């Protein structure tokens, strides 16, 4: 581990020189990548230098133990430093876990009603409200990209962007099938129904990260439907992009401008293509095993929302939360923190 830390510190010093080099600064794409690398390892270097300082203080205090005049102070310094070192070492092990390169990215989230008809659509609306309120708590900005609303206020599907540093790190474990158990308002006999909604969380991908040939994209325009004002049915402002090689479709109809709708659809398309490419790479590396927390497989049932019992259970980590209304009102931190901690612990075991 300490050899790795020495290598990281050496690389950090190299990066300090490179990002200050006018020649490198003039090549903006390269400079941005170097700045990101510098930012990614800075915390490791700071913590390692703190470790080395404490270790040095401990060794110096040990040498002074033989001096009668300094013995008392030296013992205090020695014991304090000795106690700090194991804690710092554990912190360094955690910092050395490979960071998800997308953790700081914005998020594109897609919620689709699954089994359960109108009840599933209403549940999709509940999830959208929950994520919107959580985003607000974390001071993230949320923008709807595309929506297909139902008459009762649910969604057959809705796509939206969550903007803010670290958004992906907080939302990435939400991908999968969410199941709800409750008595619908339309159920006269009081029978509990089970419905599902599928959540997909994609990191927003910059143009430099994935290369798309413009010739591979076919654009269609159409009139937007649903709420939005009189302009909706009068102008063909909605945009649908079709990536011909893969057949992937991305559309946006929430903005008045066709240009804005195309920009949002393009961002969505980039993220979907990136997800497919990443999945191929993950499948190709046979030695990599997905953690218990899960990789965000859309077919994986991850969580159950049981209304009669006031309980929300995450099946990946076996955690149940009974602050039901609080959770649906966007207080997700306890669940998300536990998911992150479990993922980190398993990666730590994999590094040993």
Shared-domain flag, residues 312 and 198? yes
For each successive 10 residues of the chain (352 residues), what is the average pLDDT? 88 92 90 88 91 91 86 90 90 81 88 90 95 96 88 90 92 94 75 90 74 81 59 64 85 78 83 77 48 52 94 95 95 94 80 56
In a domain, 289, yes or no: no
Q: How many domains would you assign to the chain?
A: 3
Domain endpoint, select from 60, 95, 130: 95
Shared-domain flag, residues 55 and 167? no
CATH number of the domain to which 138 belongs: 3.30.70.1660
- What is the per-residue pLDDT for 287? 42
C-alpha torsion sign, points 261, 262, 263, 264: positive
Shared-domain flag, residues 160 and 137? yes
Q: Which candidate, 299, 306, 301, 293, places its Cα nearest to that of 338?
A: 293
In a domain, 120, yes or no: yes
Shared-domain flag, residues 214 and 193? no
- What is the per-residue pLDDT for 338? 94
Shared-domain flag, residues 308 and 200? yes
- What is the per-residue pLDDT for 1? 81
CATH number of the domain to which 245 belongs: 3.30.160.20
CB 276 within 8 A of CB 300: no
In a domain, 322, yes or no: yes
Shared-domain flag, residues 138 and 272? no
Domain endpoint, select from 71, 95, 119: 95
- What is the per-residue pLDDT for 226? 55
Domain that holds residue 226: 209-284
Parallel/antiparallel/unpaired status of strands 176-182 and 301-306: parallel
In a domain, 290, yes or no: no
Q: How many CB atoms lie within 10 A of CB 38?
A: 17
Shared-domain flag, residues 221 and 311? no
Q: Which candidate, 130, 191, 182, places its Cα nearest to that of 304?
A: 182
Residues with Cβ within 8 Å of residue 81, at least 6 apart in sequence: 54, 55, 57, 58, 61
Residues with Cβ within 8 Å of residue 206, at least 6 apart in sequence: 270
Shared-domain flag, residues 219 and 279? yes
Rounded distance between C-alpha atoms, residue 92 and residue 2, angstroms:
10
- What is the per-residue pLDDT for 230? 39
349's tokens: 């075991």
277's tokens: 């490419």
In a domain, 246, yes or no: yes
Parallel/antiparallel/unpaired status of strands 311-314 and 319-321: antiparallel
Shared-domain flag, residues 82 and 116? no
- What is the per-residue pLDDT for 33? 86
pTM of the model: 0.66
Shared-domain flag, residues 70 and 12? yes
Rounded distance between C-alpha atoms, residue 339 and residue 329, angstroms:
19
DSSP assignment string, 202-257: EE---GGGS---GGGEEEEEE---SSS-GGGGTS--EEEEEETTTTEEEEE-SSS-
- What is the per-residue pLDDT for 271? 83
In a domain, 259, yes or no: yes
Domain endpoint, select from 284, 309, 341: 284
In a domain, 126, yes or no: yes
- What is the per-residue pLDDT for 329? 96
Distances (CA, A) of 57 to 74, 83, 349: 10, 12, 31
- What is the per-residue pLDDT for 288? 40
Shared-domain flag, residues 194 and 223? no
- What is the per-residue pLDDT for 286? 40
In a domain, 101, yes or no: no
Rounded distance between C-alpha atoms, residue 326 and residue 215, angstroms:
48
Shared-domain flag, residues 48 and 129? no
């Amino acid at each position: 581990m300490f050899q790795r830390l020495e290598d990281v510190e050496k690389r950090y010093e190299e990066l300090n020189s490179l990002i200050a080099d006018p020649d490198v600064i003039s090549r903006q794409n390269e400079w941005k990548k170097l700045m990101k690398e510098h930012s990614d390892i800075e915390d490791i270097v700071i913590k390692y230098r703190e470790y080395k300082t404490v270790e040095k203080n401990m060794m110096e205090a040990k040498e002074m133990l033989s001096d009668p005049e300094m013995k008392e102070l030296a013992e205090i310094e020695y014991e304090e430093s000795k106690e700090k070192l194991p804690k710092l070492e554990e912190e360094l092990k955690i910092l050395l876990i490979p960071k998800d390169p997308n953790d700081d990215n914005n998020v594109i989230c897609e919620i689709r009603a699954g089994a359960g008809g109108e009840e599933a659509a209403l549940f999709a609306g509940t999830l959208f409200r929950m994520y919107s309120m959580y985003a607000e708590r974390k001071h993230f900005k949320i923008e709807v990209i595309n929506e297909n609303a139902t008459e009762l206020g649910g969604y057959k599907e809705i796509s939206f962007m969550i903007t803010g540093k670290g958004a992906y790190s907080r939302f990435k474990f939400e991908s999968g099938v969410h199941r709800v158990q409750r008595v619908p308002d339309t159920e006269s006999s009081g029978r509990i129904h089970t419905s599902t909604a599928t959540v997909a969380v994609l990191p927003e991908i910059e143009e430099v990260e994935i290369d798309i040939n413009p010739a591979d994209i076919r654009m269609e325009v159409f009139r937007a439907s649903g709420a939005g004002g009189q302009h909706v049915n009068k102008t063909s402002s909605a945009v649908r992009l079709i990536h011909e090689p893969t057949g992937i479709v991305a559309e946006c109809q929430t903005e008045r401008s066709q240009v804005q709708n195309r920009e949002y659809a393009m961002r969505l398309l980039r993220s979907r293509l990136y997800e497919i490419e990443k999945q191929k790479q993950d499948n190709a590396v046979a030695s990599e095993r997905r953690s218990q927390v899960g990789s965000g497989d859309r077919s994986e049932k991850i969580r159950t929302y049981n209304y009669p019992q006031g309980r929300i259970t995450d099946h990946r980590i076996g955690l149940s939360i009974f602050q039901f209304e609080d959770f649906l009102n966007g207080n997700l931190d306890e669940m998300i923190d536990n998911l992150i901690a479990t993922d980190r612990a398993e990666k730590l075991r994999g590094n040993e």
